[in-house]
A and B are shown apart, each in its own frame.
Chain A
Amino acid sequence: MLEIRDLAKSFGGVKATNDVSLAFPDGSLTAVIGPNGAGKSTFFNLITGALKPDSGQVLLDGVDLAGRSPPEIVRYGIGRAFQVASIFKSLTVQETMLAAVSADQRTSAVLHKRFPLPETRDRAEHVMELLGLAGKRHRTAATLSHGDQKLLDIALALVLDPKVLLLDEPTAGMGPEERWRMIDKVRELWETQKITVVFIEHDMDIVFKIAPKIVVLCYGRILATGTPDEIRKNSAVIDAYLGTEHAGAAA
C-alpha cells in the first residue's frame, strides 16, 4: 500500500503541494485530475524523488521514502512514466528493454560480459509482448511514432516489476482514437499485472469511464476524492473544474 501523509512542497511563496494525504491500496487504479497548475506533476515528482518534499511522508508498505533519491525509490518499487515520453533515443526498443532489466538486476556495471546478458532476455521479451512493441524491437527509439514512444516509456517503468506504477498523462498529445487505445492498454495492464496504478489524465470522458477512484487536486490541495459518481456530483469540483456539462450528463 502506498500512503501519502501531509506531503508539502513550496516554490517560493507558491504552495505546489499543500498537506496532501492519500492512500492507494494494493491493486487499486486511481486517476488524478485537476486544472493546469494544480500540482499534479509536482505530486508525482515528490513521490518518485525527482523533488524533495519540504515535509510529510511517502510510505510504501510502511517504509518512508520521502526525500530519497530516484534510484533508491525505484528499487523500492515505485516506477513512473513521463508526460513527455522519456526514452533513450539512440537505442533500439529491444536494447532499451534489455538495458533496463540489467539495471534492475544490478548488472548495469558489469564490464567483462557482453550485452545483453542471457538472464535479461525473458523479462524484456515479456514486457515487449505485453505492450505490443515486440514487432518493433529493432527500431531505434527516436524513429518510433509518438504513441509508441509513450508505450516504450511505460514499458521502461513496467519492466522493473514495480509495485506502484505512476503514469503522468499517458495520453498526452494523442488523437482521440489513439487515446482510447492507450487507456485500454493501461487498464489491461492494471488488470493483468495486479499492480497499483495512479495516472494523471485531462480527458474527463476517459477518467469517468475507467477509473474506479478519482482524486481532484486544485492549487496543491485535495479538492475531492471518490468514485466517478461522487466526483460528478461534488459541487466544489463542478465549480472549480468540471463546469456544468459533466454534471448535467450525470443528472
Chain B
Amino acid sequence: MTELEAGRAQTLVPARSGAALQRYRDVLIALIAFAVLASLPLFTGSKALLDFVIRCSAYGLFATSLNLLVGYTGLTSFGHGMFFGLGAYSFGLIMQKLGVPIPVAFVATLAITAVVAAIIGAICVRLKEIYFAFVTLAFQMLIHSTILSWASFTGGDQGLRGGIPRPVFLGIDLSDHVHLYVTSCALLILGLLAMHQIAQSPFGYTLRMIRDNAARASFLGIDVWRAKLTVFVLAALFASMGGMVMALFVSGAYPEFAYWTISGEGIFINMLGGVSTFLGPMVGTVLLLLLNDTVTRFTEYHGIVLGVVILFFALGLRKGLLDFVADWLAQRRDAGEGR
C-alpha cells in the first residue's frame, strides 16, 4: 500500500478504529499470502519452483529491510549485506559448534546481529549521504576480510562446509524440503508483517520526517541520531533473518554472502522494484531472481543483460516498477476525481 492510499483510508473511518482495521487487514492479507504459498507444494512437485520461493524469501527479507533504510529514512547503505552474511555465518557456526536447538540459534544470531549493528551503526549514522554509504561499505569489506582470513573458525574462502545440522524441533524437520519451504515462507511473511508495522508506526513517520528534512525533525525535539541508529539495528535484524534462511537453504555459509556485491544486489533490487512502496523491494526481488535464472540459462554474459535492464529502469522509467504502477494509479484516480 502506498502512503497516499494510507492517507485516503484515514478519512473514511474514524481514527481509532481506522488504525485497528488497517492492522487486521494486514494480518488477513498476510494469512492469505501464507496460505497460498504454503499450499503450493500440494499442487506442484516442482522442486525448482519451491527453491525459487525459498531464495525469494531470503533475498526479499534482505531487500525489504534495506528499503527501511533507503526508502523510509534516506540512508543509502552500501554495506547492508554484511548483516546478511553475519546472519548466515553466526547461525551456521552456532549450529555446527554448539549443537543447540534451531530456535535457540535463531534468537542468538539475532542478538549477535543487534550488538554488531549497534556498534557499527553508532559510528556510521553520524555521517551523511556519500560518507555514510562509503563507511558502511568499508565495514562490509572488513567483515568479509575477517571471514576470509580467520580460516580456522570460518573456513576461510571455502566457507562453512560439512553442512549445517538441522535437528527436528516442534515437529519441524528442516532437512525435509517441504518443511524448509514452509518455514521460509512463514519467516518471510512474519518478517514483512513486522517491517510493515514498523513502517506504519509513529516511528515509521519519524523516519519519513528524517528522510525529508532531518534538521527540521530535530527542531521538533526528535533525537535524529538515535532514531537512525534504531532503524539501522532493526533493518540489520531482518537482513540477518534473510541470511539465516539462505544458510538453511544451502546448508552452509560462504564468503560471497558477506561480500559487497550482496549489498549491491540489494540496491539493484530496490531500484528495480521501487522504494516508494512497501512491497517494491519484494517485487524487485522476484524480478531480479527471475532475470538471473532465465538469463544465465541462455548466456554466460548475463551481467550485460542485467545491466541493460537496470539502465532501463534507472534512465527510462526513472523509478522502480512498483513506483511506476503506484504513480500511474494515483494519476488515474486523480483524473477520475477531477471529472
Contacts and interface: CB of A to CB of B under 8 A. Distances in A.
Interface of A: 48, 50, 69-71, 74-75, 79-80, 82, 86-92, 94-95, 98-100, 102-104, 107-118, 121, 138, 156-157, 160
B208 interface: yes
A115 B202 contact: yes
Contact of A88 (B7, B203, B212, B223): B212
Interface stretch (B15-23, B45-53, B123-131, B265-273): B15-23
A90 B73 CA distance: 12
B173 interface: no
A86 B203 CA distance: 20
Contacts of B216: 82, 86-88, 156
A86 B212 CA distance: 10
B220 A114 contact: no
B333 to A, nearest CB: 13
A80 B208 contact: no
A121 B22 CA distance: 17
B25 to A, nearest CB: 11
Interface string B209-226: 101110111111111001
B197 interface: yes
A129 to B, nearest CB: 16
Given A86-B213, A88-B209, A109-B202, A116 B15 contact: yes
Contacts of A90: 3, 208, 211-212
A95 B218 contact: no
Contacts of B222: 71, 103, 108
Interface residues of B, number: 37
A92 B2 CA distance: 13
A67 to B, nearest CB: 15
Contacts of A104: 220-221
A103 to B, nearest CB: 4
A71 to B, nearest CB: 5
29 contacts: A50-B215, A80-B219, A82-B216, A86-B215, A86-B216, A86-B219, A87-B213, A87-B216, A88-B216, A88-B217, A89-B213, A90-B211, A91-B212, A98-B205, A99-B202, A102-B206, A109-B226, A109-B230, A110-B202, A111-B203, A112-B197, A113-B19, A114-B197, A115-B205, A116-B15, A117-B202, A118-B19, A121-B15, A138-B8
Contacts of B213: 86-89
Contacts of A92: 7
B200 interface: yes
B278 to A, nearest CB: 14
B180 to A, nearest CB: 30
A95 B205 contact: yes
B331 interface: no
Nearest to A121: B15
Nearest to B219: A70
A88 B20 CA distance: 26
B208 A103 contact: no
Contacts of B211: 90
A201 B202 CA distance: 36
Interface of B: 3, 7-8, 10-11, 15-16, 19-20, 22-23, 197-198, 200-206, 208-209, 211-213, 215-223, 226-227, 230
B203 A110 contact: yes
Contacts of B209: 88, 91, 99
B201 A74 contact: no
A53 B219 CA distance: 17
A118 B16 contact: yes
B11 A138 contact: yes
Contact of A75 (B197, B198, B221): B221
Contacts of A118: 15-16, 19
Contacts of A98: 205
Nearest first, the 5 A-B pairs at minimum CB distance are A114-B19, A88-B212, A103-B220, A74-B221, A108-B206
Contact of A108 (B3, B198, B202): B202
A138 B337 CA distance: 14
B220 A100 contact: yes
A114 B203 CA distance: 9
B201 A112 contact: yes
Given A86-B216, A91-B209, A114-B19, A109 B7 contact: no
B274 to A, nearest CB: 14
B160 to A, nearest CB: 33
Contact of B218 (A70, A88, A113, A117): A70
B200 A115 contact: yes
Residue of B3, B23, B218 with most partner-chain A CB within 10 A: B218
Nearest to A99: B205
Given A71-B221, A100-B220, A89 B198 contact: no
B11 A103 contact: no
A43 to B, nearest CB: 16
A74 B220 contact: yes
B200 A114 contact: yes
A115 B220 contact: no
A107 B202 contact: yes
